[in-house]
Structure 1
């Protein structure tokens, strides 16, 4: 049942408030929201209006311990003070944690074995590059599908979507090593990540709050996966050194089994860690964004100087333009993560002004790159790579321009921070649509070359 916009906003506000406190874990918030929505739908069916149904459903929830009491004190005009608080069942929670760990290990092992089988099937050729994401992301989506208890229609949609993408990537007669094959391999993970996002939000992809949760999860996943990779690299390095010192060559086992199983499996494990230890990462996230935002601004300013002194824009090296695209995507990721980590109720501050500077400098770099790309197209003509890069930069231009405008409005006190949040979550699907065009349409237009 679709709830109206005002009621969705109330639920999003409740969810955001609870998530910003450390008393309730993310998994519990998900379960509580499911119960809340069920209660609201039942109450609406009895004839209550939306506000009454929301308040009565909140009263019936219970089990919000300290968070509920704090929220009740701050919102004494609501019914939160009447919540019935019950203690957690430690034994039940422990059993649930072990059960989830077993499921995670199973999915991680499945992803590793799938990559191992893919390596044997493709012998490391271009087929593996196209299908690598398909060998890993379905297991991550399956974990969230199990955790969120997806409905049958949502689960069926995800399965059909994964299967359709697999067929498309393997039926198209790509020219080996051609541009469209490379573009398809680069853009397929974007589509796969969209499908993982649908599983993560439990099928509620229309909710702005759930989409922002997924943005936050993506950033935290990158942090945990990097930490696991660094720690695993050190452990493997020490093991190899010890074995080599006693005359044992670990190379074959390392290359044939350890890395194929560990690298993809670590992605599922990192996702589980984000879910299980979210409060720890929430303490790190604001620090990371405040450290890297000014450093990124300095980097972008240096890039602008390099581009300005590189001579004619048409002569700018293609590899440099590709690298600049990667930098702009990184800047966008930092912007999204910064917004997701910020308390939407806090007043504008110095860091918000720094974010505006970051976006404006990124816009300047994007404008220079667009000019250089158009100059190259005018001089050398169209190609799949040029059109794909041009399209991405146009999407970034729109995204960053609107973000800058909304940030200015927020700094001037004319717009709430939630307007900036909503713009991010509602524009992100555009990148998925563009990725679908590149994967499905470009090969047809350019004869699979």
Structure 2
């Protein structure tokens, strides 16, 4: 088989995507790649050029989701073992010691984060503690990925500097107690902290679109694991409190003084480790979650649009309603990013892609109405930190959604590839970090720290 550079690049991208389905072992990926090359060779011998041979061969290989299911059936015993944290069947595996060491480091970092939260909760005022919560936990997560990915010293210095400067601005600016600019800084500072986590996760290769999309995927899977841990932990604590309450033991002091300060930040570290170690479990859940919540969210947006239209004059729209709409739009963005990260980029456009296009269209309609209401309120009552921050966020969302809708429409009409849609998401993500930096560093001086 002739192996042109372009063809090898296509095979490499296909192999990379298959490798993300961790239900498929590396040896299976090698076997599948060999089969793909054989099919391409046969098609080239039949007279097809490289691009045609690749596309036909991939199509004949079948959907990657279907391939994953077939390998799951063929290797069900191995898949069950993958659900065990440290498989006993792998006693002779030389990588087992590395897994144990990594788990030990994660647990040590979790204890460190819990200790930081515990000390801060006992020594800081409640408002100060809340505004600094991200700086108490996220540095430990950055440390975990810095240990795992081994970024350069320059990248580590930049990460430490970003966290330190952000923390200093939140704490040293002369904000008015309970002022809007303090609240906005506290809300946007975690965005910068999470950006630092993303750079550490990428090993400093933040310019790589693939690494950015991997971080989007990690964020979505982390949210799923955190929800599962929270549900399981909540049930366990509820049962324990009920049993001890029968004999007159009140565990509320222990909950507030020890369990919550250690378990909540610890859950974040443990969930991050689970995502790293057990991605194959959530990768099977991700497509289901996106398909369930996309139509539900679309209905929610349509209802929100109707509410806005029937709320009377735009200046009378309740501020709390606009805040809730912003939260819904951010949720839509998160769902959209997670859907893009979970989709097979080689699959042809289908019904779900058209449903996502409807979701983006509904989000755009709501965003335009919300923007109009915000601009009208500013013109009528003047600017305030909250209004300007909300207006800026909605403008960013508008640009993001417009371009996404255009590319998604082109993909559904077979005019553009899915890669262009993926690349737009990863290209635009840093804009939100820049806006967060503007709010944290600039809104205080701009509005007199009120």
TM-score normalized by the length of structure 2: 0.85
User: What residue is the counterpart of 1:256 in the other structure?
Assistant: 257
Matches within 5 A, 1:259-278: 259-278=260-279
SS of residue matched to 1:382: coil
| Distance in 2 between residues matched to 1:100 and 1:384, nearest whole Å | 44
- Once the two structures are superposed, the pairs formed by residues 127-276 of structure 1 within 5 Å of their partners are 127-276=128-277
SS of the residue 1:91 aligns to: coil
User: For residues 166-189 of structure 1, what are the alpha-carbon distances to aligned partners after superposition, in whole Å with 9 as ceiling and x for unaligned?
Assistant: 222111111110000000000001
Pairs within 5 Å for 1:9-48: 14-20=15-21, 22-24=23-25
Residue of structure 2 equivalent to 1:42:
none
Distance apart, 1:263 and its partner CA: 0.7
Classify the secondary structure of the residue corresponding to 1:75. helix
> Structure 1 residues 9, 259: closer, same or farther in 2, change over 3 A?
farther
In the alignment, is the contact (CA less than 8 A) between 2:191 and 2:436 conserved in 1? yes
Q: Which residue of 2 aligns with 1:59?
A: none
Over 3 Å counting, the alpha-carbon distance change for 1:315 and 1:280 in structure 2 is same
Instruction: Work out which of the residue numbers 84, 95, 103 in structure 1 matches 2:105.
Output: 103
For residues 324 and 302 of structure 1, the distance between their equivalents in structure 2, rounded to whole angstroms, comes to 11
Q: For 2:132, what is the secondary structure of its paired residue? A: helix
Q: How far apart, in 1, do the equivalents of 2:190 and 2:97 lie?
A: 34
Report what 1:65 is aligned to.
Answer: 27
Output the aligned Cα RMSD: 2.0
Q: 389-398 or 109-118: which moved more? A: 109-118
Please list the CA deviations of residues 341-378 of structure 1 after superposition, one character each: whole Å capped at 9, or x if unmatched: 00000000000000000000000000010011011111
Q: 1:274 to 1:185 in 2, by over 3 A?
A: same
Tell whether the 8 Å contact from 2:114 to 2:263 is kept in structure 1 after alignment.
Answer: yes
Q: Could you tell me which residue of structure 2 aligns to residue 383 of structure 1?
A: 384
Q: Structure 1 pair 8/427, CA: closer, same or farther in 2 (3 Å)?
A: farther
Call closer, same or farther: CA 1:157–1:219 in 2, change over 3 Å: same
Contact 1:141 1:196 in 2 (8 A): yes
Residues 15 and 29, structure 2, Cα contact 8 Å, conserved in 1: no
CA distance in 1, matches of 2:16, 2:150: 19
Deviation at residue 10 of structure 1 after TM alignment: 8.0
Partner of 1:118: 120
Alpha-carbon deviation of 1:207?
0.8
User: Is the 1:331–1:362 contact (alpha carbons within 8 Å) kept by the matching residues of 2?
Assistant: yes
Instruction: Report deviation, 1:75.
Output: 2.6
Partner of 1:398: 399
Q: In the alignment, is the contact (CA less than 8 A) between 2:175 and 2:449 conserved in 1? A: yes
Alpha-carbon shift at residue 23 of structure 1 (Å): 2.9
3-state SS of paired residue (2:204): coil
Q: Distance in 1 between matches of 2:208 and 2:132?
A: 30
| Aligned-pair CA distance for 1:7 | 10
Secondary structure (helix, strand or coil) at the match of 2:93 reads: helix
Q: CA separation in 2, counterparts of 1:11 and 1:120?
A: 53
Report the CA distance between 1:123 and its aligned residue. Answer: 3.3
Q: Gapped runs of 5+ residues in structure 1?
A: 25-63, 79-87
Give the distance between the partners of 2:228 and 2:377, measured in 1 at CA.
40
Instruction: State the Cα distance separating 1:6 from its structure 2 match.
Output: 12
CA distance change for structure 1 residues 23 and 412 in 2, over 3 Å: closer, same or farther?
same
Q: Separation in 1 of the partners of 2:8 and 2:219?
A: 27
Measured in 1, the distance between the counterparts of 2:442 and 2:436 equals 10
C-alpha displacement of 1:14: 4.5
Which residue matches 1:74?
36
Asked if the contact 1:12–1:209 (Cα under 8 Å) also holds between the matched residues in 2, the reply is no
CA contact (8 A) 1:112 1:260 kept: yes
CA contact (8 A) 1:190 1:432 kept: yes
**Equivalences, count:** 397
Partners of 1:173 and 1:227 lie apart in 2 by: 40
Shift of 1:447: 1.2
Q: What corresponds to 1:39 in structure 2?
A: none
2:322 maps to: 321
What is the TM-score when the length of structure 1 is the normalising length?
0.85
Deviations 1:173-230 (A, max 9, x none): 1111000000000000101000000011111101111100000110111011011011
Q: 1:245 to 1:89 in 2, by over 3 A?
A: closer
Change in 2 beyond 3 A, CA 1:13/1:448: farther
Kept in 1, the 8 Å contact 2:118–2:261? The answer is yes
- Provide runs of 4+ in structure 1 moved above 4 Å: 5-14
